Amino acid sequence: MVCFGSLLKTLMTSTQSGVQQQDVCSELIMAVGGDNIIGEHTKITRLRDSEANVPDDAINGAKNVVFEDVVGRLNGDLLSKFISEDRIPVIVLALKDILSRDSVGISTHIGKYKKSELLSMVDVDAAEFLACFLIYTCAEVANRNGKDGKTDFITKDYVDAFESQRNSIHIVTAPVIRTQQLQSTLNRDDFDQIFIESEGAGQLNNPNYSQVRLFYLDIENSEFSYDCLDDFLIDNIGYYVLSRTEMQNLRDRHKEHSACLRAIRAMNQHGTPGEKGTGNDLGEVMVYAFLEDVLGAPKIFTKAEIVAGTPGSRTDGVHLLKLNDGGSDKYQLVLAASDITGNIKNAVDSVIQRLDDIVGVSGNERKMVDRAVLSSSFDADTTTYLKNILISSRASSGRPDISFGIFIGYSLGIDPSQYDNDTYRTKAMEKMKQDVEDIAPYISTQLANAAIVSNSNIANHSFYFYFMPFDDADNDKDEIMQNLLSGGVGNGTI
């Protein structure tokens, strides 16, 4: 039974010497905005045994709390002060088992992630994992549902039994993605329903925090369904093409509804549908969307804006990522690149060659951003915010590191004529999981080779790789953009 009591019981099997139940329980409650309950021993025991519900202030706090703030508190207080570091893997495995036993649906969001995603995690950020359980059990579960012995199986012996499986997961300490003054521009409604994350994830052989993740569109009749993608592009193309200032001007004049048409008109002036380097390539649009939504890095410029009036950049966009690492905030300037090619390894090779070229002129990319900021390409508040972060004379914690955000599309490569629809869907899921796990070591090898061949420091960066399969990547990408730039004439519903 997933509830606050089961979480507390599991954690109490693995505390540091001298830590008391009240320490752990009170820290959990305060992490979601509840009051300190140190000394309220009867209440704490009743919470542990699921004889009482979580206090109202913690319930209300959990419903409104910023996820990253909970992660930061658990990382800085609970895990460092109260829990034995060596016991973290078995805690995670025990909580996975408890979750798997619970009747809650596999697609239910347990905090930030779906139940299926938590159960399939191999590379686990313990603070994130615990934050998911904590927020969900406080905000969504009546703790008293776990009474009458439903959590009695959670003992030290139960948790100890997972010791033999500790190598089945890898505990990582990922920097916390922070919200920032620079807001996302993307219309994020339904993003998670349109772009579904596959099971499995890749791990780069890289000392810097990186991601290798794969997302896919819904599968209907043994094909990826592009209808929702068409709609998503229509809804967001204005935010991709038009600058923040241009969009605000439209809002001020109550003409935001015309953003899509204005954007399509501008793109048709820049080049033909699907023409790479003009802002009209599907990969150039998708990398903007994934960096804003999945990574949480708002745009400074997209490829379309670079083509329209910010010359001198070889990237597919520039984004700003705010992290909290070791208790201190820092920033990364995320340079975007993309490729959509039938063969996944060919697409990786193409992107890495491009990244290696960008590394050689990364100073120029910084200068391009600095010029735009200094020339007031943004509103006054945003300009001041960016100057304080990016301009060397003002940056209090040093200039942001350069990192890379990459979108790669490829052909899934399964012949639908060989399977019925259900079998095809199963085969597709299996292959996507295998693809994302297999491509990570290939990326690591290619990055290492590029560093040797060009004598560059390309490997000394964070990389955020996002993959998405297509039925026929080379043809589909152009058809999708032709549909978009013809004004949305196609199968989507506008």
Distances (CA, A) of 145 to 49, 149, 332, 476: 10, 10, 44, 49
> For 376-431, what is each residue's pLDDT tens digit?
567 788 888 888 888 765 555 678 899 999 999 999 999 999 999 999 999 999 99
Q: How many CB atoms lie within 10 A of CB 85?
A: 12
Q: How many CB atoms lie within 10 A of CB 443?
A: 24
pLDDT at 176: 64
Q: Is the full-model pTM beyond 0.85? A: no
pLDDT at 493: 36
pLDDT at 381: 82
pLDDT at 199: 83
pLDDT at 489: 46
pLDDT at 491: 45
What's the CA gap between 5 and 460, in Å, rounded? 43
Residue with tokens 């705010």: 322
Here the tokens at position 492 are 């989507």
pLDDT at 188: 79
Averages of pLDDT over runs of 10 residues in the chain (494 residues) are 96 95 96 93 95 95 90 86 94 96 90 89 89 96 92 96 92 70 85 89 86 95 96 95 90 92 93 92 97 93 83 83 76 95 97 90 77 71 84 67 96 96 96 95 94 86 96 97 77 38
